[in-house]
């Protein structure tokens, strides 16, 4: 036998075997049609689009056998009604932010984001390599839900305000649309949190029903037109260092999936996470420039305000953990991982970033100086 011909032909034989095997797998696989209710408006190609990425990838990976049809917030389920719908089996799955459901149990927030929590890289590490997915899985089982990571916004902005925030006293009586556990924090400082779906924020801010609103960041905020009804744009969003988005799946429906379909769904969710954070990072800088050129007044939260919010946040964590065993179990795990991440990021990531930012600022300052 010609050894060279045999070795050279091996890849072709393997490819042929794969080609022959693929139709057999496809023929044996069942056809599934799922409905997925989003908590987001269809006008936002980023956050709503993350759910679309999942649906398209699942169909592509299963040769169209497993189809997931996306529905925007309110089309078949209200934006904040998705957990109930998935839990009860009214729909098979949803694409949402878990922290919307802190009213049911504040533990939901850890699957999304919490004030002064972790950034995208750190939260991603906790969920995928730090045991976070396991502790959250136990919590979600009590709701008959499997939660899969499916997108991230990165660090968010602090929102749009009708008036400037100079001191902690300026927070008192402030009616603000704000998501998740952060609503409890600002309430502790005298504000009045409002839970309003993304598509309804503009009207509330325009009518003066609320005094301030946070959503995500420049790209989405510009699309929703918040700059037309509030002049001051604050940063940072201390309550959202990196909002994790999730696909919630009815557990019984998930358990029924063939292994191939489970892997397709998991792979699609991973793709959505990578692509969504990339879109936000690519599009936010240009959007911020456009907003500033149009007259938006960019403001940093005063240090006094940030410190007061930080203290109130961790007081509230301790108070909640003292009365909610499920919250305490997840919080203890989350905080221990967060603390080690912060120590490491201070050494490597932050020192690198801080130096590069400083040098760039100096170069820009020198370039702006008139030549002699």
Residue 263 sits in the same domain as residue 117: yes
pLDDT at position 4 is 36
Q: Is residue 5 part of a domain?
A: no
Q: Are 69 and 171 in a shared domain?
A: no
Render pLDDT for 40-68 as a digit per residue (tens, 0 to 9).
999 999 999 999 999 999 999 999 999 99
Tell me, yes or no, whether 291 and 198 share the same domain: yes
- Token pair listed for 346: 């201070």
Q: What is residue 240's predicted lDDT score, i.e. its pLDDT?
A: 97
Does some domain include residue 126?
A: yes
Q: What is the pLDDT of residue 372?
A: 65
Among the listed residues 188, 234, 335, 104, the one whose alpha carbon sits nearest the alpha carbon of residue 96: 104
What's the pLDDT at 226?
97
In a domain, 350, yes or no: no
Q: What is the DSSP letter of 257?
A: S
Residue 365 known to bind ligand: no
Q: Is residue 116 domain-shared with residue 57, that is, in the same domain?
A: yes
Say if residue 103 is in the same domain as residue 249: yes
The pLDDT of residue 238 is 98
pLDDT at 3: 36
Which of helix, strand or coil describes residue 369? coil
φ/ψ of residue 208, rounded to 5: 85, 10
Residues 110, 227, single domain; the answer is no
Number of domains within the chain: 2
Report which of 109, 45, 93 is spatially closest to residue 243, judged by C-alpha positions: 109
The verdict on 89 and 219 lying in the same domain is no
Task: Determine how β-strand 159-161 pairs with β-strand 297-300.
Answer: unpaired
pLDDT attached to residue 17: 40
Does 266 share its domain with 298? Answer: no
DSSP 91-157: SSEEEE-GGGGTTT-GGGGGGT--TT---HHHHHHHHHHSSHHHHHHHHHHTTTEEEEEEEE--S--
Q: Is residue 368 part of a domain?
A: no
Residue 194, SS3 per DSSP: strand
Cα angle value 87/104/205 (rounded, 5°): 110
Residue 156 labeled ligand binder: yes
Decide if 18 is inside a domain: no
**Residues of the domain holding 307:** 159-239+284-332
- In this structure, are 295 and 273 located in the same domain? no
Claim to verify: residue 54 and residue 122 sit in the same structural domain:
yes
**269 lies in the same domain as 296:** no
Residue 372 lies in a domain: no
Decide if 348 is inside a domain: no
For every one of its 372 residues, what pLDDT tens digit does the chain have, with 9 covering 90 and above?
Answer: 443 333 334 443 344 444 434 444 456 789 999 999 999 999 999 999 999 999 999 999 999 999 999 999 999 999 999 999 999 999 999 999 999 999 999 999 999 999 999 999 999 999 999 999 999 999 999 999 999 999 999 999 999 999 999 999 999 999 999 999 999 999 999 999 999 999 999 999 999 999 999 999 999 999 999 999 999 999 999 999 999 999 999 999 999 999 999 999 999 999 999 999 999 999 999 999 999 999 999 999 999 999 999 999 999 999 999 999 999 999 999 999 999 999 999 999 999 999 999 999 999 999 888 876
Assess if residue 11 is contained within a domain: no
Residue 371 has a pLDDT of: 74
Find out whether 194 is annotated in a ligand binding site.
Answer: no
For residues 45 and 104, state if they share a domain. Answer: yes
């Amino acid at each position: 036998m010609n050894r060279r011909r045999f070795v050279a032909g091996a890849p072709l034989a393997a490819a042929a075997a794969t080609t022959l095997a693929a139709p057999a797998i496809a023929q044996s696989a069942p056809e599934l049609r799922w409905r997925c209710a989003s908590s987001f408006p269809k006008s936002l190609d980023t956050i709503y689009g993350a759910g679309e990425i999942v649906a398209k990838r699942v169909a592509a990976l299963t040769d169209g056998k497993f189809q997931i049809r996306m529905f925007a917030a309110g089309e078949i389920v209200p934006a904040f009604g998705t957990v109930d719908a998935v839990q009860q089996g009214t729909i098979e799955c949803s694409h949402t932010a878990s922290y919307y459901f802190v009213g049911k149990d504040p533990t939901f927030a850890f699957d999304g984001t919490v004030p002064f929590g972790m950034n995208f890289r750190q939260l991603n590490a906790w969920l995928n390599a730090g045991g976070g997915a396991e502790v959250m899985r136990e919590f979600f089982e009590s709701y008959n839900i499997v939660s899969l990571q499916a997108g991230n916004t990165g660090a968010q902005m602090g929102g749009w305000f009708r008036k400037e925030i100079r001191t902690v006293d300026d927070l008192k009586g402030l009616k603000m649309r704000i998501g998740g556990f952060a609503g409890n924090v600002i309430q502790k400082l005298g504000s009045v949190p409002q839970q309003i779906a993304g598509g309804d924020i503009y009207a509330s801010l325009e009518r003066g029903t609320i005094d301030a609103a946070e959503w995500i960041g420049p790209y989405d905020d510009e699309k929703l037109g918040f700059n037309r009804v509030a002049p001051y744009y604050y940063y940072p969003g201390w309550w959202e260092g990196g909002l994790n988005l999730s696909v919630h799946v009815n557990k019984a429906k998930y358990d029924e999936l063939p292994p191939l379909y489970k892997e397709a769904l998991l792979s699609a969710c991973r793709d959505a996470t990578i692509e969504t954070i990339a879109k936000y990072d690519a599009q936010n800088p240009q959007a911020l420039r456009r907003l500033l050129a149009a007259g938006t007044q960019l403001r940093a939260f005063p240090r006094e305000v940030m410190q007061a919010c930080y203290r109130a946040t961790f007081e509230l964590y301790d108070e909640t953990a003292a009365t909610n065993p499920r919250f305490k179990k997840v919080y203890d795990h989350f905080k221990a991982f967060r603390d080690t991440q912060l120590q490491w990021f201070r050494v490597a990531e932050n020192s690198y970033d801080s130096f590069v930012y400083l040098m760039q600022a100096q170069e820009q300052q020198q370039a702006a100086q008139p030549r002699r």
